Each structure stands twice: as C-alpha cells, then as structure tokens.
DNA sequence: AACGCCTTTTGGTATGACCAAACTAAAAGT
DNA sequence: ACTTTTAGTTTGGTCATACCAAAAGGCGTT
C-alpha cells in the first residue's frame, strides 16, 4: 500500500516532509484549508500523503515554524494565514538570543530610534487629518493616564503606535509590535512613576506640536530627545557602563 | 492553575523536546558547543538526555528553525551562534508567503524606500571620512561594471550596502541582506541592461554627490527618485496595475 | 599525498505500540 | 428540557525497533 513513486524531481535525499509541507502550504494559501480551522488528524494526513506519521509530524513542525499553523501542546494545529505580525513573532524567538548583553539591547534600541526619527519626520510632512486626530486622542489618553503607571505604559505604546500606522504600510505596525515586545518588558514597566510619566507626556506633546507645525526637523529632534532621555534613564538606573 | 497562555506560533508542540532545546541552547550560547562544530550524533544525544530519538529529532528541528543550528539533508547539524543575519534568515521563510501578490511586494519595497531615505539622510549628516571613501569606491566599481549586468547587480547591491553600514549598527546590514534576498531575485536580474545600468549609476552618483554636499534633503530626494524609478520600471515591465 | 575500496556510523523513514489528554456522545441528575 | 456526569473514542506525545542509503572514517595501493 505504499506508493513510493511519488519521487519528485531530484530524488535527492531531501526530506519527504518537504513535500507534505509544500502540499499543505498550497492548501492553506489557496483557502482549501480555511483559516482558523484545525488541521486534519495526523493519522489522516499520513494516509492522505502515503507517508509515516514521522514525516507528518515533521511537516507540521515545519509549518509551525513557518507560522502557517498554530500549535498548542495537546491540541490540533490551527491553520493560520500568515501576516506581518507573524513574521515578527517568528523572529522574536531568535532575537531573544541577541539581547542577552547590553550591546544587543543598545543596537535594537538604536534601530528603534532611527526608525522613529524617520517616522515622526514622515508624520510631520505627510500626516493626514485622521492621523492628527488619532495622535491628539492618543496624547489625551496619555495625559489622563499619568497617575496610573500601568495604564500610562499602554497609552505610551499606543501613542508611538499611531506613528507607525501613519505611513499606512502594514509592515510598520508589526515592527512596532516587535520593538515593544522585545525591548520593553525587561525594564519599561518597573521603572515608571507619575513623575516619569509626566516627563514622557510632555515629550510626546512636544513631538505632536512639532508635527502640527509641520516641522520635520523639530519633530525629529523632539523624538530623539525623548528616546535618548529614556535610554539614559534606563542606563543610569541599571548602572550600565558609559556609552 | 497553570497559565497556558503561551500562544507561541513559531513554537513546536513537543514539550519534552523543549527541555532538550533549552539545554542545547544553553550549551551553544555558553560556548560549550562551539560555533561551526557539528552537533553530537542523534543516538548520542538521546542517551545524553535519556529520551527517544523522536524527541531529539524534534528538538533539532526546532533549533534549526531558531537558527541555532544549520541543517543539511543528510549531514550533521552545524552549531551556529546566532547573529543578526540569523534572525533575518529565520524570517525569510515566513516572509516568502507575504510576497505572493503585488501588494506584499509593494509593502516591502516601500519599507525599503522608507528605510533608505532615512539612511541617506543620516549619511549626509554624519558620514565619516571612511564612509565617504567606501561610497566613492563602491560608486567607482559601479561605473566599471556598467557593461556587465550581472557584475553591475553585485556592485549595485554593494553600493546600497555601504549606506546600511554607515550607522554602524549591525542590525542594518542584516536588514539590507533581507531586502536583497527577499525582494530582488524575482525580477532584479532579468530586466537589467547596460542602458539601465547607466541610469542607475547616474542615480547613485547623484546620491553620493548630495551626501558629499552634506545635503540631507537632496540626498533623500535623489534616493527617492532612484528607487521610485526602479519600481516604476518594474511595474510597467510586468504590466502590473496602477498604483 | 592522492586515490579508490570497504566497513562503520549516522540521518531519514517506516511500523507499531502505549499513555494521557482532549473530544464526543450517551446517560444521569436537576 | 437542560445542565452535569460519565463512559467510550479519538488523537497528539513519546518510546522502541528496524531498515536503508548516504556520509564518514579507516586502509591499503599507487
């Protein structure tokens, strides 16, 4: 009952799982396997593809690391059509290994500063009316949350998030999610206080004011000051070495 | 009551394998398993960890998707200490699924334009003498390669690569590698010609001139024109719809 | 030292089995 | 009639074993 003739071109010792991966991949993107639906049972797949469960499991593992299915320990894999957040999430597992020392964190933080400098400049030059509305609303939420550090953290992230949405490129919000999930958790919450919140609120306000003035240079400078100050505060608090 | 909210998507379902992964992970980062060295044989690992080969193989598969080892079909996995290129490499497999339609490609291309606009601006403002030397050399290579489209492609990539190195953040060159490996292969080579090469060389020269003039706005504009024109050429050539 | 030959090692795959958790549906209780 | 219990059935996670072909290593010849 074994159809071993399914040898594709170049029967190179390539993994049989790759064929299964490719097939399921096609079924997922074509919608034949619907999003959010569970994958067929392993024993069914092994019959469907004429291979052993070993291969099926390896294929599912690959699909999982590709972000095409979502696996939980004892549950059926769930089909998931990939999006930009998926990519960043997949990166996260690897990124973690690069943040073990201060250098790694600094590099990532610097890249964020670089990114957001460009973002605020872009915002100052080409933010639409809706964007301005969103920014003002985010800033207002920011101000109201000053007494509550946890809430302020959320509004802080949200304010920056608006900046990432202004270019209307879905990649950018995903990057933002990456930064906040990789960079912040280590210290961002613990060293907040109403006083710090006030400082950050003022910084945000300065950024928004510059955007309203349509002044890219001022916006960039305000953003830079904001993030540099935040880094400096973290650096001193944790007694990291000099720059 | 255990909190099983870890909805890791790049994660595999095997919990026993996770222990092995964690252990090997630690051995890799601690240098106990040296970089570029082969992993112990599977049968040895299964004795070392007291588990079945199933679990060991699953762990290796996961390490592979984490970028901590490099696997070739019939060969011993090679230990690879993670770096920024590793992250991008891990992303690549997922990214591929987002580039199936024009929208996905456009989003990625736009993000590249956004990134490089910021890069040339940064270069114009803070390029060092060495950077200028590198840029001039890259441009010269560019010019010499105009008759040879394949060679020109390499020098083209190299020229942009210099821009990514100027901020001296190792994340940026990795991003550049991502862009070139994900974005270009689909069309970049095939629609080159000495005439196009000439055009691109001139565009590069304009960028460098603006950088030499320490004029961020001019540099940004030159870069934007360069990349927008390249996109437009691709768009028309492939008869993609309007913007 | 380079090449070809032979033995061992090792990764890829197939089977079959077992367990515990998840699922399902019938049975019991309200 | 509806919720809760419960018993039976799937199904994922793991183990053990076996076989094959390709890689690795040893060895003698050139």
Q: What distance in Å separates residue A200's CA from the closest CA in chain B?
A: 25
Average pLDDT over residues B89-97: 83
* pLDDT of A9 higher than 60: no
Q: Do domains B15-81 and B88-237 have the same CATH topology?
A: no
Average pLDDT over residues A170-184: 93
**A98 and B87: CB-CB below 8 Å?**
yes
pLDDT at A186: 66
The region of weakest confidence among A96-100, A203-207, A238-242, B164-168 is: A238-242
Q: How confident is the model at residue A243 (pLDDT cuts 50, 70, 90)?
A: low
- Kindly list the residues from chain B whose CB atom is less than 8 angstroms away from the CB atom of residue A57: 58
Helix, coil or strand: residue A79:
strand
| pLDDT (tens digit per residue) in B27-68 | 998 999 999 999 999 999 999 999 999 999 999 999 998 889
* pLDDT of B6 higher than 80: no
Q: Which bases of chain D are under 7 A from a protein CB atom?
A: 10-18, 21-24
The distance (Å) linking the CA of A13 with the C1' of D21 is 9
Q: What distance in Å separates residue A194's CA from the closest CA in chain B?
A: 30
The distance (Å) linking the CA of A33 with the C1' of D8 is 30
pLDDT over 90 percentage in chain B: 72
Q: How confident is the model at residue A162 (pLDDT cuts 50, 70, 90)?
A: very high
The CATH number fitting domain B88-237, selected from 1.10.1200.10, 1.20.120.530, 3.40.50.300, 3.20.20.150: 1.20.120.530
Work out the number of other CB atoms within 10 angstroms of the CB of residue B167: 21
* pLDDT of A12 higher than 60: no
* pLDDT of B9 higher than 90: no
What Å distances lie between residue A152 and A115, A200, B148, CA to CA? 22, 10, 57
Residue A190 makes CB contacts below 8 A (sequence gap 6+) with none
* pLDDT of A14 higher than 80: no
Q: Which bases of chain C are under 7 A from a protein CB atom?
A: 9-17, 21-23
| Torsion angle (degrees, nearest 10) of CA B5, B8, B13, B17 | -100
- Kindly list the residues from chain B whose CB atom is less than 8 angstroms away from the CB atom of residue A122: 114
Residue B148 makes CB contacts below 8 A (sequence gap 6+) with none
* pLDDT of B119 higher than 80: yes
pLDDT at B188: 67
pLDDT at B191: 75
Residue A90 at interface with chain B, using a CB cutoff of 8 Å: yes
Instruction: Please state whether beta strands A78-79 and B69-70 pair in parallel, antiparallel, or not at all (unpaired).
Output: unpaired
Give contacts of A 70-89 with B, CB under 8 A. 70-74, 77, 80, 82-84, 86-87, 89
Average pLDDT over residues A86-107: 86
Average pLDDT over residues B133-143: 98
Q: What distance in Å separates residue B146's CA from the closest CA in chain A?
A: 33
Average pLDDT over residues A47-73: 94
| pLDDT (tens digit per residue) in A127-158 | 999 999 999 999 999 999 999 989 999 999 99
Q: How confident is the model at residue A5 (pLDDT cuts 50, 70, 90)?
A: very low
Per CATH, the number for A16-79 is 1.10.10.10
Residue A34 makes CB contacts below 8 A (sequence gap 6+) with A79
The distance (Å) linking the CA of A38 with the C1' of D2 is 29
Q: Tell me what the pLDDT averaged over chain B comes to.
A: 90
Q: How confident is the model at residue A102 (pLDDT cuts 50, 70, 90)?
A: confident
Average pLDDT over residues B84-88: 85
Name the CATH architecture for the domain at A87-237.
Answer: Up-down Bundle (1.20)
pLDDT at A188: 67
Write out the E strands in chain B: 69-70, 78-79
pLDDT at A92: 85
pLDDT at A85: 83
The distance (Å) linking the CA of B14 with the C1' of C20 is 14
| pLDDT (tens digit per residue) in A26-39 | 999 899 999 999 99
The distance (Å) linking the CA of B23 with the C1' of C6 is 38
- Ramachandran area for residue A10 (φ above 0: left; ψ -120 to 50: alpha; else beta): left
Determine which of A19, A62, A64, A219 to mutate to test the interface with B (most B C-beta atoms within 10 Å): A64
pLDDT at A7: 31
CA separation for the pair B210, B119 (Å, rounded) = 13
CB A218 within 8 A of CB A210: yes
ipTM of model over 0.90: no
CB B89 within 8 A of CB B43: no
- Kindly list the residues from chain B whose CB atom is less than 8 angstroms away from the CB atom of residue A107: 84, 169-171
Distance of CA B78 to the CA centre of its chain: 21
Average pLDDT over residues A200-211: 98
Give contacts of A 132-191 with B, CB under 8 A. 167, 169-172
Q: How confident is the model at residue B1 (pLDDT cuts 50, 70, 90)?
A: very low
Average pLDDT over residues A223-235: 93
Average pLDDT over residues B115-120: 98
What residues does each domain of chain B span? Answer: 15-81, 88-237
Per CATH, the number for B15-81 is 1.10.10.10
pLDDT over 90 percentage in chain A: 73
Distance of CA B31 to the CA centre of its chain: 25
Q: Tell me what the pLDDT averaged over chain A comes to.
A: 89
């Amino acid at each position: 009952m074994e159809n071993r003739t399914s040898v594709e071109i170049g029967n190179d010792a390539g993994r049989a799982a790759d064929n299964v991966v490719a097939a399921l991949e096609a079924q997922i993107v074509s919608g034949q396997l619907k999003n959010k639906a569970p994958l067929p049972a392993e024993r069914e797949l092994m019959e469907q593809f004429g291979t052993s469960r070993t291969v099926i499991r390896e294929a599912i593992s690959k699909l999982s690391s590709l972000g095409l299915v979502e696996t939980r320990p004892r549950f059926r894999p769930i089909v998931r059509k990939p999006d930009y957040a998926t990519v960043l999430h997949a990166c996260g597992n690897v990124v973690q290994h690069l943040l073990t020392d201060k250098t790694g964190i600094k590099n990532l933080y610097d890249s964020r500063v670089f990114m957001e400098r460009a973002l605020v400049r872009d915002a100052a030059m080409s933010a639409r009316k809706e964007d301005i509305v969103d920014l003002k609303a985010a800033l207002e939420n920011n101000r109201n949350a000053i007494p509550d550090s946890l809430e302020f953290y959320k509004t802080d992230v949200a304010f920056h998030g608006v900046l990432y949405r202004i270019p209307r490129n879905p990649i950018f919000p995903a990057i933002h999610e990456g930064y906040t999930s990789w960079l912040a958790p280590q210290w961002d919450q613990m060293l907040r206080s109403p006083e710090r919140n006030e400082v950050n609120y003022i910084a945000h306000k300065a950024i928004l004011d510059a955007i309203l003035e349509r002044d890219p240079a001022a916006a960039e400078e305000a953003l830079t000051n904001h993030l540099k100050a935040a880094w400096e505060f973290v650096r001193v608090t944790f007694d990291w070495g000099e720059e």
